[in-house]
Amino acid sequence: MTKKEIFLHHLKGKNLTYKRYTKSPLRYGGGKSLAVGLILEQIPSDTKRLISPFIGGGSVEVAAALELDIEVLAFDIFDILVNFW
């Protein structure tokens, strides 16, 4: 099994397809913490770098970096948010 398959297996939920990914320190309006599994399913397994134009709460980006060892370059127009990250 690949790292991605193992991670997605651990993220599986009982009532939902996937559980909320909770390792991001921010909860953000319109956040993707419940969609992390669905989004990461779509990223090819040989991906080495993820470029994100809207980091927001960073759930997908944190999961990609921590769980899948993918380099992440993330951006946002909200300067306070960018400075936080």
Axis crossing angle, helix 59-68 with helix 3-11, rounded to the nearest 10: 130
pLDDT at 85 > cutoff 90: no
Helices (H) and strands (E) in the chain, counts: 4, 2
Average pLDDT over residues 34-39: 95
Average pLDDT over residues 40-62: 94
Sign, CA torsion 28/54/30/13: negative
pLDDT at 60 > cutoff 90: yes
Average pLDDT over residues 37-55: 95
Average pLDDT, the chain: 92
C-alpha span between 35 and 17 (Å, rounded): 9
Domain ranges of the chain: 3-84
C-alpha span between 54 and 2 (Å, rounded): 27
Give pTM, 2 decimals.
0.89
